[in-house]
Amino acid sequence: MGLLHPAVRELLGEAPEIGEDLEELTVSLLQSLIRNACVNCGDGSCEEVTNIRTLAAFFDKYGIKYQVYHPPHRPNRPSLIAEYHGGTGIGPRVMLGPGHVDVVPANEKAWDVPPFEARLVGGEVWGRGSLDMLNTVAAQAVAFACLATSRLPMRGTLIFCAVSDEEAGGADGAGFLMNEPKLRDIFRADYCMTEFGGATLPDRYNRPSRTYYHVSGEKGTATINVVCKGRPGHGSLPKSCDNALVKAAEVVRCLANYWSPTIITPEWRNIMAASDAPWIVRTCLTSAWFAPAIIRLLLLLGHPLGSAAHASTRLTLSPNHLTGTHKSNVVPGTAVVEVDGRLMPGQDKAYLIRQLERALGRRRMASGDYEIRIRHFFPATTSPVDTPLWKAMEKAGRMLVDGTTFVNGLLTGATDSRFFRHHCGAIAYGTSLFQPELTLDKLMKSIHGDNERISVASLGISVQYFVLTILYMLGAAEEAVTFRKVKAGKDGSLGEKLYISLN
């Protein structure tokens, strides 16, 4: 441990107590957050206040001021913000976050270790949220405390933000903050750094590389109900009725088999350009004409690139929930198929409805027995990468891991970044930096899965990555700090120590 130990002691000056070991502080804070077990089941009962209090106590230790806000009807679902101006405050507002402090449920019986004990096993912290995204929250909180207590001058404002309710859509967290004009002004940021970046793209043999994937945008989200209408009756006379559940089953089949038109985005072209896949595969997967056939072949072969390519190049419609009657002897007169829709940039509600109607077929839609209801819709959001923050991220990455290159992609899932992009025009990236051994495929399989864990070394790299990125972004690194690297172990296998000293 101790990746930044000598550096931080010099960097912090008047607050040497935090400089003992950033990596160790990050591990300790992450373990506390995991043990609080802020599980979000989607019913509004999650009490993220426990993790917010843990972060508040951490900041109290170093005399850092912060503010806490919560929805009027949800006092146990607060969000926290802290700011460091480092000068006049003139310049960009750069946010470490938004970072969510809630986690999804865990099936304890399927884990090798209890998911909420945050055990340190084999150089890894095990626990629900260790990769999504309590690890980033902990690293960003420690990085913020390091910089805020350093008294280093900065051209702009550094913000730390932790929110509730991301795992259930963010209505009580980032959504609440951005929909309230007064709070939107308080939490406003020009740049945000949040979850889902920092893993490497594997090569064609599924080996780690030095090409790091970061998120510059994400697909839009929609929740659609397809209401199927029939004629109810008794289960003993099924042919005297018109079973709506049978119609719903046909809807499920149609949606599962439907492929919407292929869209090749700049982000997907970037991913393919950085990929180690054979030239012919990369060429075909960036062609709207040839991509569907190649994707079908990859899916047939069980290659992970197949599912990624499918979701990254089109609107997806996934029928995930079905309701009919609650009694086995009643033929339902109404059944509802709940569909999860993920939209590409530029696709609106009208496009979504057209694709649903095309998937179900004209005859069904003309029969009057099917009705499409859009319960939720949020458009896709993207950020450019020709920005000072992206350049600062690249520079920090190269400093920490030799031979590093960054590539930006469109996330098929959703994060709280969408609220900040959409409501206040923020440039937001999903970014961090892990050990190269953590590939994107491994990361995606671990998130929300059993035995979720992160290496201590990755936590150490992450916290120093955030420190360096902010120093480069807000100007302090160029003017006040010198960097030099030395090997971190006898064989250098744990990466390199980064020493920071004041000029």
Instruction: Identify the pLDDT of residue 18.
Output: 56
- Residue bearing tokens 């990929």: 275
pLDDT tier, 86 (very low <50, low <70, confident <90, very high otherwise) = confident
Which candidate, 456, 471, 459, places its Cα nearest to that of 399? 471
Q: Is the predicted pLDDT of residue 488 greater than 60, yes or no?
A: no
Instruction: Identify the pLDDT of residue 501.
Output: 37
Collapsed DSSP state (helix, strand, coil) of residue 239? helix
| CA 79 – CA 356 distance, rounded (Å) | 37
To the nearest whole number, what is the mean pLDDT of the chain? Answer: 90
Question: If you write DSSP's letter for every residue of 447-497 in order, what string do you get?
Answer: TTSTT-EEEHHHHHHHHHHHHHHHHHHTSHHHHHEEEEEEESSSS-TT-EE
| CA 206 – CA 330 distance, rounded (Å) | 51
Which candidate, 177, 110, 90, places its Cα nearest to that of 419? 177
Which candidate, 188, 180, 191, places its Cα nearest to that of 389? 191
Model confidence pLDDT, tens digit, residues 264-274: 999 999 999 99
Instruction: Identify the pLDDT of residue 150.
Output: 83
Return the number of other C-beta atoms located less than 10 Å from residue 455's C-beta: 18
Instruction: Identify the pLDDT of residue 336.
Output: 97
Return the number of other C-beta atoms located less than 10 Å from residue 437's C-beta: 13
- Among 145-149, 227-231, 369-373, 413-417, which stretch is predicted with the lowest mean pLDDT? 145-149
Q: What percent of the chain has pLDDT over 70?
A: 90
The mean pLDDT of 444-457, rounded to a whole number, is: 94
Instruction: Identify the pLDDT of residue 368.
Output: 92
| CA 96 – CA 350 distance, rounded (Å) | 36
| CA 125 – CA 200 distance, rounded (Å) | 20
Question: If you write DSSP's letter for every residue of 5-27 in order, what string do you get?
Answer: HHHHHHHHTT-GGGGG-HHHHHH
Instruction: Identify the pLDDT of residue 19.
Output: 52
pLDDT tier, 478 (very low <50, low <70, confident <90, very high otherwise) = low
The answer to whether the beta carbons of residues 41 and 169 sit under 8 Å apart is no
Pairing of strands 405-411, 211-218: parallel
- Among 78-92, 96-110, 164-178, 425-439, which stretch is predicted with the lowest mean pLDDT? 78-92
- Residue bearing tokens 């005297």: 240
Instruction: Identify the pLDDT of residue 12.
Output: 44
| CA 3 – CA 459 distance, rounded (Å) | 10
The answer to whether the beta carbons of residues 219 and 343 sit under 8 Å apart is yes
The answer to whether the beta carbons of residues 226 and 370 sit under 8 Å apart is yes
Instruction: Identify the pLDDT of residue 206.
Output: 77
| CA 151 – CA 446 distance, rounded (Å) | 38
Supply 416's token pair.
């709280």
Instruction: Identify the pLDDT of residue 152.
Output: 84
Q: Is the predicted pLDDT of residue 496 greater than 90, yes or no?
A: no
Model confidence pLDDT, tens digit, residues 192-218: 999 999 999 988 777 888 999 999 999
Which candidate, 413, 447, 411, places its Cα nearest to that of 132? 447
Exposure on the CB side of residue 430, measured as CA atoms within 13 A:
30
Domains (range + CATH), the chain: 5-207+384-398+407-502 (3.40.630.10), 218-378 (3.30.70.360)
The more confident residue out of 154 and 159 is 159
pLDDT tier, 477 (very low <50, low <70, confident <90, very high otherwise) = low
Return the number of other C-beta atoms located less than 10 Å from residue 313's C-beta: 24
Q: Is the predicted pLDDT of residue 17 greater than 70, yes or no?
A: no
Supply 140's token pair.
């960003």
Model confidence pLDDT, tens digit, residues 287-341: 999 999 999 999 999 988 899 999 999 999 999 999 987 888 999 999 999 999 9
Pairing of strands 211-218, 381-382: antiparallel
The answer to whether the beta carbons of residues 427 and 93 sit under 8 Å apart is no
Report the interhelical angle of 134-148 vs 49-61 (nearest 10°).
Answer: 20
- Among 1-10, 76-85, 194-203, 391-400, which stretch is predicted with the lowest mean pLDDT? 1-10
